[in-house]
Amino acid sequence: MDIKELKSGVNPDTHWYYQSKKVPLLAFFEDLVKAQGKPLTVIDFGAGSGFFTYELYRAFPQHIAQALLIDIEYTDEELAETKDAAIQKLRYIPEGINDAVVIMMDVLEHIENDLAVLEDIKQRTGQNIHYFITVPAFMSVWSSHDVYLGHFRRYTLPTLTSLLNNAKSKIDSKYYIFGSIFPLVWLLRRIKRSNTENMEEPTSSDMKPIPGPINSLLKAYNTMEMGFRKWNSWFGLTCVAEGVLKD
C-alpha cells in the first residue's frame, strides 16, 4: 500500500477499496499453496505499509514460511524493530530465496524502468518463484491522482503482457478488476483532466475516507464482483497478472 494514501486518512483495514482488492490476492495464494503442497516465502516488493502481506499472514499463517516486506524507504529503526520477526522489513531482497511468491501491489507504475526491476528480482531469487502483480489501468483515466502518487504510466492487459513476456515470465492468468465502477471514474477523471494540466504539484490523491454505510455498500459490491474477475478481459481500474516469474 502506498504510504501517501495513509496521509489522506484512509484506513485499509476498513476502506472498501483495499478490503475488496485483497480478495483476488488471497484466492491466488490459497490456490498456490494447495498446488505447491508446502509453505512459501512471501516477498512483498515495494510493500509500503505492508497491508497486503499482513492480510495474507492473518489468513494463512501456517502456509507462510517467512514474509519479507521490501521497500527502500524503510528507516533503520523499522528494520531493527522487525529483525527476525515473522514479518520482516528489509530494503532489498536477500539473494537465493527459493519457493516464493513475489507480490507487487501497484508498484511497477512507480518505476521508470519496470522491466529492469523484474529482471533484477529474477537475478536475486532462486527457483520456483511465482508472482501476483497489480497495476493501475488505462491512460485515459490518468489524473492528478497519478501525478500525486508519482506514477510513470498506467497499463492495459496487452502492455502488462508484453512486459512479462519481455521478462521471460509465464502468465497463468490476467484480468481487470473494478470493472463496473470504471465508467464513472473515467468520466470524473476526464472532467478533472483540464485542472490537472494546470496543476504543477497535486497535494492529495483521490482515495478518501467515506461514510460508513456507503463504504460498506461499496465493499460488499466490489467483493462480490471479484468473484467474476477472471472473465473480465475488457476494462477496469486495475490490471492483474498471476504466474511464474522464474522456474
CATH number, domain at 37? 3.40.50.150
CB 64 within 8 A of CB 41: yes
Q: Which domain holds residue 147?
A: 3-246
Task: Give the per-residue SS3 of 12-41.
Answer: CCCCHHHHHHHHHHHHHHHHHHHHHCCCEE
Pairwise CA distance, residues 183 & 186, whole Å:
5
Angle at 215 between CA 4 and CA 184, to 5 degrees: 80
pLDDT for 134-179, tens place per residue? 999 999 999 888 988 999 999 999 999 999 999 999 999 999 999 9
pLDDT digits (tens, 9 = 90+) for 73-106: 999 999 999 999 999 999 999 999 999 999 999 9
Q: What is the mean pLDDT of residues 36-65?
A: 97
For the chain, how many structural domains are there in total? 1
Residue with cell 497478472: 241
Q: What is the pLDDT of residue 225?
A: 97
Report the range of poorest mean pLDDT among 5-14, 114-123, 148-157. 5-14
